[in-house]
Amino acid sequence: MGEYEPVLLANVGVAGSHTRAVYESRGGYEGLRRALCDMSPADVTERVKASGLRGRGGAGFPTGLKWTFLDKKATPVYFCLNADESEPGTFNNRILMEEDPHQVLEGLILSCYATGARTAYYYMRYEYPLAWERTRAAIDECYAAGLLGSNLLGTGYALDVVLHRGAAAYICGEETGLIESLEGKRAWPRIKPPFPAIEGAFRKPTVVNNVETVSCVRQIIDRGVDWFRSLGVPPDPKNPRDAGSFGPKLYCLSGHVERPGCYEGPLGLTVRELIDRFGGGVWKGRRGKAAIPGGISMGLLREDEFDCPLDFNGPGRYGCLGLGTAAVVVMDETVSIVDVLHNSCRFFAHESCGQCTPCREGTAWAYKILQRIRAGHGRLLDIELLRGIGDTIGIMPGTTICGLADGAAWPIKNAIAKFRDEIETHIKTTNPGHYGATRPVPERHSAH
């Protein structure tokens, strides 16, 4: 990557960046003013479609195309801003909401204008107190300045933003789980179809986009389609399903690196470049062993796979589930993969909503097996049991309503495929007399 000037993070570190005065002094809301005066909602939608912007929340679905799925004959149309950032290792949305909340709001207003929404629900995770306070203050500033309310900037367009605090559950990041929670119900994801664009919040057509996605909308309106498409990775001509990976991206970097943080670059940086150039390399002079490319649900990369590009197709070529949130967690040579799996399985067993039996039971049993392995009572047979769980839970095998189970399964399958020797060695070393057992494990050997 050559020299790159951050745009999404351009205001971060500027004194008072969370206030409207500072934001407008640096060009904020100019694009919104032009759009409301000179562009129709269809014009904004077409510009976003032409840019090739894909959702930054994990799925990577084309944003402008998603907007066109709305049932425009039904009214009202709602917009849900997904700020329930709960994927382990992910904190890019938090940075934007804390340091530059007006950028998020400008992108949200533009997105609502394009989709015809007159009410936006800003759904923020409970654990972000500073983001909550600064976003609430920014919304108040917008109402006072005529940027929200019944007559935006005198154009006749009306928009209200309702700030809603989530209930501290990972499942609320799934768009229909978020909608159920917003409606005051248990956050159980809905069976699709109907999709939210047809029947979403309060059974009305609804768009759900995340914080970084709408921030990119603001940049597209400000800087244009050609600028946005000049960044990232063009479509693979040999893959007709590849829509390209265009635009800037916020990369979270944490774990065993010298300089953890949130960094911006074009889509397509490699994991190695992110670690070495931005993160200062693996800490304490040690070697890297593994990395999570986009949140734990995406799986694992070995050190010899760190040249994996972080675009929407790159991680999939290395056996990972996808780009996810581009949250890279680095593990050095001292880390036990069994411990990594144990933590992953514990997280997903805790966060499974329990609606689908394969996910509820599969994540719980995977965690119990890892507890037993760590307690020194593992068997080689347990590896096959874990593989079986990984292969039979999730949307892809067709056993669950949402993708949480797929995200729970992927680290298991990845770790076994890439670090099987280490897992077998751990089992043999910690249970030398019984690692070959095939009988049911006695209750006294269970770990609690």
CATH number of the domain within which 380 lies: 1.20.1440.230
For 60, the domain range is 20-230
What pLDDT, in 10s, does the model give residues 19-49?
A: 999 999 999 999 999 999 999 999 999 999 9
- Asked if 290 and 362 sit in the same domain, the reply is no
pLDDT in tens, 184-211: 999 999 999 999 999 999 999 999 999 9
Give the integer Cα–Cα distance in Å for 111 and 324.
22
Q: Which residue, among 119, 142, 123, has the nearest Cα to 19 in the 3D structure?
A: 142
Question: Is 152 within a domain?
Answer: yes
> What pairs with residue 329 in β-bridges?
254, 292
Chain mean pLDDT for the chain: 95
Task: Say if residue 237's pLDDT is above 90.
Answer: no
| Mean pLDDT computed over 228-238 | 92
pTM: 0.94
Strand bridging mode 78-83 / 206-210: parallel
Question: What pLDDT, on a 0 to 100 scale, did the predictor assign at position 236?
Answer: 86
Residues 357 and 300 occupy one common structural domain: no
Q: Specify the pLDDT at position 46.
A: 97
- pLDDT, position 442: 58
Per the listing, tokens 């960044």 go with 231
Residue 9 lies in a domain: no
Which of 230, 262, 282 is at the close of a domain? 230
Q: How confident is the model at residue 153 (pLDDT cuts 50, 70, 90)?
A: very high
Domain boundary residue among 181, 199, 230? 230
Look up the CATH number of the domain holding residue 137: 3.40.50.11540
Looking at residue 444, its pLDDT comes to 52
Residue 243 belongs to a domain: no
DSSP string, 19-78: SHHHHHHTTTTHHHHHHHHH--HHHHHHHHHHHT-B-TTSS--BHHHHHHTS-TTSS--E
Question: 306 and 213 in one domain?
Answer: no
Which is higher by pLDDT, 241 or 344? 344
Separation between Cα atoms, residue 444 and residue 436, nearest integer Å: 18
Answer whether residue 197 is part of any domain: yes
pLDDT tens, position by position, 158-183: 999 999 999 889 999 999 999 999 99
Taking only the tens place, the pLDDT of each residue in 406-446 is: 999 999 999 999 999 999 999 999 999 999 998 766 555 44
Q: What is the pLDDT of residue 59?
A: 82
Q: Which two tokens stand for residue 90?
A: 């992910």
Tell me: do 83 and 192 sit in the same domain: yes
Residues 342 and 266 in one domain: no
Residues 35 and 164 in one domain: yes
What is the Cα–Cα distance from 445 to 423, expressed in whole angstroms?
19
| Mean pLDDT score, 375-391 | 96
Q: How far is Cα 351 from Cα 200, in angstroms, rounded to an integer?
A: 23
CATH number of 273's domain: 3.10.20.600
Q: Are residues 385 and 436 in the same domain?
A: yes
User: Does some domain include residue 6?
Assistant: no
Give the model's pLDDT for residue 441.
62
Distances from the Cα of 169 to the Cαs of 46, 261, 350, 352, 376, in angstroms? 35, 24, 10, 9, 32
Residue 240: pLDDT band (50, 70, 90) is confident
What's the CA angle centered on 404, arms 340 and 372, to 5 degrees? Answer: 40
Residue by residue, DSSP assigns 285-345 as GPPEEEEESSSGGG--EEGGGTT-B-SSSTGGGGT-S--TT-EEEEEETT--HHHHHHHHH
CA–CA gap between residue 278 and residue 250 (Å, rounded): 12
Q: What share of the chain in percent tops pLDDT 70?
A: 98
**Tens digit of pLDDT for each residue in 342-370?**
999 999 999 999 999 999 999 999 999 99
Helix axes 211-223, 30-38, angle to 10 degrees: 70
Can you give the pLDDT at residue 308? 97
Phi, psi of 408 (to 5 degrees): -70, -35
Residues 313 and 205 in one domain: no
Looking at the fold, whether 307 and 345 belong to one and the same domain comes out as: no
* Opening angle at CA 90, ends 320 and 225, nearest 5: 80
Tell me the helices (H) and strands (E) count for the chain, helix number first: 15, 11
Tell me: do 321 and 372 sit in the same domain.
Answer: no
Co-location of 73 and 143 in the same domain: yes
- Between CA 366 and CA 409 the distance in angstroms is 9
Q: Is the pLDDT of residue 241 over 90?
A: no
Q: Count up the domains in the chain and report the number.
A: 3
What average pLDDT does this structure show over 209-231? 97
What confidence tens digit (pLDDT) does each residue in 281-325 have?
999 999 999 999 999 999 999 999 999 999 999 999 999 999 999
